[in-house]
Every structure is written in C-alpha cells, then in structure tokens.
Chains A and B, each alone.
Chain A
Amino acid sequence: MFARLLVRLLRGSRGRLIVALVALISGATVISALLNLDLDIERKLAQEFSTLGANVVIAPGQTMQTKDAGTAAPSLMDQAIVLSALKQVGSADVVAAAPYLYIVARSAGTPVVIAGTWLDETPKLDPTWKLDGEWIASREDQTQCLVGRDVAKQFHLKQGSEISLEYQRRSAKLDVAAVVDAGGTADSQVFVNLPVAQNLATLGGEIALVQLSVTGNAAAVGDFAARLAQALPQFQVRPIRQVTEAEGELLGRIRLLIVSMALLILALTALCVLATMAALAMERRMDVGLMKALGGSISRVVGLFLAEVGVLGAAGGLIGCIAGLALSRWMGERVFGAAIAARWEIFPLTIALMILVALAGAFPLRLLGRVKPAVILRGE
C-alpha cells in the first residue's frame, strides 16, 4: 500500500513535482559534471604525485649552445663525461637514470620523432605509462622499440608489428614491443635503445639530456641537483618536480572553484525544491488532516511525503547524472582540452546528494506534522 500511495501522490501532484524534478535534474547535471571533472583531475594529480617519475634533468649548459655560433642545431653533451660525473656524485637516492637523444627520422616518408634511451630504465622514469605489450628489458636490445599511441595509430602499428626508420641514408627495422599510452608528448614518439638512435644519426657517444629519478622530498631532490650541478659545471642540472607542483597548485585552485560552484548549485537546487514543497505543503494541509483523522500517525504521513521527495531526488539524480557525464565530456574537450573519463562512482554520489538536497528542500513538509486533524471538520 505504501508504494501504491507513493505512486498516487506522485501522480496527483505531478504538475508541481515536475517543477521540483526539473530543478533537481538541472542541479544534478551540473553537479555530476563538476564532480566528474573534479575526480578526474584528482586522479591525474594523484598520478603525478604518487609515482616517482623523472624529477631531475641534466641538459646542455648555456655555453655549449654558442659553441658553433650561427647554427641552430641543438647542442649535445658527451655521454662519457656526464655519466662518469653522475657515477661520482651518484648515491643510493638515484632510483633510475637514463640518457636521451632525440632525432627526427622518417618512417614510410613521414617524419617521426625517435627517442634513444636506456629502455630498461624507462619503467622507473615513466611509471605512469600504460603499455599495450611488454617493456624492453635490456638497453642492448637493438631489435625492438616502444611506439607512442599516436604513432601507432598513424602507422597502424600494434604489438608485434614491424616499423622501419630511415635517417638520411641509414635505416633500421624494429619490432614493436608495446604501444605506449603516456598522455603527453611521448604518445607521438618512438622509443628505441640509445645505440639505435646514435647509429642512425651517426652521433655515437652524444646525448641531448639525462633524466634521473631521485627519491626524497622537494628539498632533498634540490640538494642532490645542486651537488650534481657542482660536479657538472658545464651543464644545466635542474629539478623538474617544481613545475609539476606549480601545476598541482593551479589544479588545486581549479578544484576549489569547482567545489564551491557545486555547493552553490546544491544550495540553489534546494531552494527551488523548497519553494515548490512549501506550495505543496499548503495544498496538502487538508489531505494530511484527513489522514491523521483516519488514524495515520505523524511519522507515517510525513514519512510518506518524505519518501515521495526521496524518489524525486533519486530520479533527478539519475537523469541528471547521465546528462552530467555527457556535459563533463564536452566541457573536458572544449574547455580543458583533455579527455575526461566517465567516473562511475559519480552515479551513487550524485543520487545520494540529490536525495539529500531534495529532503533538505522538503523541510516545509515537516510543518504538516503540526496540522491538527480537527481542521477537517472545520475549514468549511
């Protein structure tokens, strides 16, 4: 009977309830879109901070860049000098280190960026990469490579495919060990072991930079970078973690904005429901008086109305959430230029929130608890 009464109540006042429902749906749409953005940003932040990727870089110094005055070619470093200095300073704090040499080769006539490195160190330097395939275990392996997601798409590659690379008159054929989803520039690069790149470009012993992963907090990492800089005065040594932290701070502010907007919208939705419910409570005074006269207890009668509002909140939450996920995708692409994934925990979260908002908005219905059943015999 409870369910039957509920259905009748919902139908009986559908004109008014639709107004409240529309408010709840709109609120839920915006809330779930914001929450989805927020959670996804949080996930991305967490990825950046929780994993120890590369956080110190050794790059050519200012002086090196003017060695050949007039040429625009990027300056390079001598691999042997850098690595021996690294060995001297090197401590247990260095989790991973690898040199990098970037060249622009061609594959089937199309330019593609080749990164030569020590592929056995890559899992530690880029722990956030998602691989479709296997890591390459040895830095000596000259037959395999990793390809970025975008490269794989462009050249129709997958694990086990072959890719041939040409650089001027030299070429190399490599098997694809894995396709990399890095969520950044690495998606459009091909990763090979250092000798492969050096041989293609005839740049034996030359490297463009070294990336290190050093444990410790920002201060410890800065300390280590300073010591390394002393040992390598001709090169630039800088921690790169600080950049990420600045980004993190910005994202944190965006989150704060999102959360405060969400709270504002929740409050507005509750107010809209409140207005509707106040009108409804007036309309139902007689019905409530009657129900009480017939022996309906306050808790039963008000419970019935609250259940009605709860159903409304749940429905608004569900419909709004579906719209909200679509909205957050659109906002992600249009506003943030990032693919925002649908987070399914948004559904229970939004629905629970909207039920709470609806119940808060249903506050005027509580006044029905005070209606005296005797009004039923007067009021005429």
Chain B
Amino acid sequence: MARVVEIEGLRKIFGSVRALDGISFSVEEGEWIAIMGPSGSGKTTLINILGGLDSPTSGNAVVAGTDVARLDESGLTRFRAEKIGFIFQQFHLVPYLTAVENVMLAQYFHSTTDENEAREALKRVGLGDRLAHLPAQLSGGEQQRVAVARALINHPKLILADEPTGNLDEVNEELVLRLLRELHSEGHTILMVTHAPAIGRMADRRIELEHGRLVQITELSTK
C-alpha cells in the first residue's frame, strides 16, 4: 500500500517553544489515525504542517507524494486545494455563503464549480433539505456536516480533522463520527485529533504526543 504521509525528524520551533521536537512516523493509504495528547503538545501544529498551512523548521514531510517542506506559498496553496480536506473544530464556514455555496467554494478554488455535485455531497451528509441555509441558520452539528461535505468534494488524498467533534453535543458528535467511519470504510485516509479516548479507539492506530515528542504509537485495529 502507498504511503500517504511520511515524516521524519519533523521540528517546528516558535521562538523558544519547541512545538514539534523531532517527530517521525508514516501513514498508509486508507488508514485512520487518531492523534492524542495534552493541550499544547503540538497536535494542531502537526496538522498544520501536514496540511500545508505552515512549514516545518526542519525535517522531512512528504504528503501525498509532495514534499511540503520545500513548497513555496503558491505551491502550498495548490497543494491544499488538490490534496487536503480540512475539518476544523470551529467548523469555519463562510458566514455569508449558503451551505451549497460553501461546498462550491472549495470546488472553485480547486478547479471549476459543479452545483449538482455540491448538492449531492450535502445530501450524502444528510443535509439535502438545508442547501440554501446560511451557516447562522444551521445547528453546530449541521455546520460540521457541511464542513465534512466541503472537505470531501475535491476527493482529497488526506482528510485532516482537528478535534472535529470538540464543539458538538453527543447526538451530533455521533452523526459526525458515523460519517468519518463511513469515509474510512470507503478507503479515505484520515488523521484526526481528539481528546476523547472513546473516539480515539475507533481509529486504526493512535499516536500520542507530549511536549512536541511522539511518546507512543498504539496499533488498535486487527486487520
């Protein structure tokens, strides 16, 4: 199986803070990885670098065949549009665009828009009747499902989710997790940051960080 993520000796230093302090691991295509660790341990920094939102101070990071450490700003922009689907804790929808337009925005930045495909994606996450709603008219769970549809619309190589259920109640958390499980079973590669051990157990592997160091990798699935 192809490797989607391969990092080695990854470091990220903010002034005097070593947010990531020499991290190495790799992720196979189709794997679901849970990233866990206390607050401030470097989880978001890791996601940012893997997603091309930030560059490492040193070390190698090859994601979907691309060495993200060597890309310039515009190269990173293309990389994000083509290879990555993001799901954020705060949902982060554009407030003045409707649900379907928020999905189309990702299409627009990727290549061309296809409203029908965007509608289908929203139907798939159970929002077929909320297409023309603005984010403010949607519940948190619904907003996060729009974000999931948006993350999927360009068929990314890697889905990065930073505490995707951190702001949701149990019912909505379950809905979003069910979606992620579905995506996993369809063969998507997912890296998900979570605080909840129960959620962490759904993954194939669990990576634990502490003070920017990788302290433990746990094999969970038995496939």
Q: Let me know if B162 and A377 touch, CB within 8 A.
A: yes
* B54 to chain A: closest residue by CB: A374
Within 8 A of A (CB), among B82-125: 82, 84, 86, 88-90, 92, 94-97, 101, 104-110, 113
A257 in the interface, Cβ–Cβ < 8 Å? no
Residue contact B92 to A290, C-beta cutoff 8 Å: yes
Please tell me if the beta carbons of B109 and A4 are within 8 angstroms of each other in the complex: no
Whether the pair B54, A294 counts as a contact (CB closer than 8 A) is no
- The CA of A297 and the CA of B162, in the complex, are separated in Å by 23
| Chain A positions 11-26 with a Cβ under 8 Å from a chain B Cβ | 11-13
Q: Which listed residue, B79, B84, B88, B97, touches A376 by the CB 8 Å rule? A: B88
Evaluate whether A287 and B74 lie within 8 angstroms (CB atoms) in the complex, with A294-B81, A295-B81 already known. no
Closest A residue to B166 by beta carbon equals A380
Q: Is the CB of A293 within 8 A of B80?
A: yes
A5-B108, A291-B94 known; A377 vs B44 contact (CB < 8 Å): yes
A295 touches B96 (CB 8 A): no
B48 at the binding interface (Cβ < 8 Å): yes
A4 touching B101 in the complex, CB below 8 Å, given contacts A11-B96, A290-B92, A295-B110: yes
> Are the C-beta atoms of A376 and B77 separated by less than 8 Å?
no
A1 CB contacts on chain B under 8 angstroms: 104-105, 107-108, 113
Q: Does B78 contact A (CB under 8 A)?
A: yes
Contact of B109 among A11, A295, A378 (CB under 8 A): A295
Q: How far is the CB of B45 from chain A (nearest CB, A)?
A: 9
B53, CB-defined interface residue at 8 Å: yes
Interface residues of A in 276-319 (CB under 8 A from B): 286-287, 290-298, 300
A294 to chain B, nearest CB (A): 5
A116 neighbours in B (Cβ, 8 Å)? none
Residues 156-201 (chain B) with a chain A CB within 8 angstroms: 162
Closest to B89 in A: A380
Which of A33-55 touch B at CB < 8 Å?
none
Q: When the two chains form their complex, are residues A294 and B86 in contact, meaning their CB atoms are under 8 A apart? A: yes
Q: Is the CB of A293 within 8 A of B105?
A: no
Please, what's the 1-or-0 string for A354-380, where 1 marks a CB less than 8 Å from any CB in chain B?
000000000000000000111011101
Which partner residue on chain B sits nearest A304 by CB separation? B108
Q: Does B47 make an interface contact (CB < 8 A)?
A: yes
Contact assessment for A291 and B109 in the assembled complex, using a CB-CB cutoff below 8 Å: yes
- Residue A130, interface by CB 8 Å: no
Flag if A378 contacts B92 (CB, 8 Å): no
Q: Contact at B96–A297, with CB atoms within 8 Å?
A: no
Indicate whether A293 sits within 8 Å of B53 (C-beta atoms), given known contacts A1-B113, A8-B101, A377-B48: yes
A300 touches B109 (CB 8 A): yes
Residue of A at shortest CB range from B160? A377
Alpha-carbon separation in the docked complex, A353 to B82 (Å): 40
Given the known A-B contacts A8-B97, A290-B92, A380-B90, are A373 and B53 also in contact in the complex, defined by CB atoms under 8 Å? yes
Which residues of A have CB within 8 Å of B80? 292-295, 373
**What are the residues of chain B within 8 A of A295 when measuring CB–CB?**
77-82, 84, 106, 109-110
8 extra interface residue pairs, beta carbon distance < 8 Å, beyond A291-B105, A292-B77, A373-B53 = A1-B107, A2-B108, A5-B105, A12-B95, A286-B92, A294-B86, A298-B73, A376-B92
- Residues in chain B within 8 A of chain A (CB atoms): 44, 47-48, 51, 53-54, 73-74, 77-82, 84, 86, 88-90, 92, 94-97, 101, 104-110, 113, 150, 162
Residues of A near any B CB (own CB < 8 A): 1-2, 4-5, 8-9, 11-13, 286-287, 290-298, 300, 372-374, 376-378, 380
A-B CB proximity, top 6 nearest: A295-B81, A12-B96, A295-B109, A295-B80, A296-B109, A374-B53
